Amino acid sequence: MSLDKNETSPLAVARSLTPWWMMRIREFDGLEIRPCKTIGYVNNEEVSMPCEPELASRWTVYGHYRPNDAFEGIEALEDYPTEAEAEKFRARLLKCYPHLSGNLPVPQ
């Protein structure tokens, strides 16, 4: 079956709906949650940084890049209004991707 020029590939649609980090989940070996606050805007993009819990406007779930990979450090995956919601998301990720617990080898 071929698509006519006005149709969109189902794969293209799926990729457009998939969070960027999900396509790169193998690059991470762990997760952490940090309280964050907005410190300003650059080109209409919100800039935030970790802060003390009592100053937080949101809780960010970060993925840890695997050591010795192309990237180093951490990357923000998702933001949540409460720590409990961030913890719930983290638990779901660990259930789906057990290598993120840091105790298992990363899938190839």
Straight-line distance from the first to the last Cα atom of the chain, in angstroms, rounded to the nearest whole number: 32
pLDDT, greater one: 67 or 41: 41
Give the span between the Cα atoms of 76 and 74, in whole angstroms: 7
Is 55 part of any domain? yes
Number of domains in the chain: 1
Question: Residue 26's closest CA among 79, 70, 61, 85?
Answer: 70
Task: State pLDDT tens for residues 47-87.
Answer: 899 999 999 999 999 999 887 766 778 899 999 999 999 99
What's the pLDDT score for residue 69? Answer: 65
pTM: 0.77
Of 12, 22, 13, nearest in space to 78 by CA: 22
Provide mean pLDDT across the span 36-47.
Answer: 92
Between the alpha carbon of residue 35 and those of residues 38, 44, 51, 57, 89, the distances in Å are 11, 22, 6, 8, 15
Q: Output the pLDDT for position 37.
A: 95
**How does residue 10 score in pLDDT terms, banded at 50, 70 and 90?**
confident
Structural domain boundaries, residue 87: 27-97
Q: For residue 4, is it within any domain?
A: no
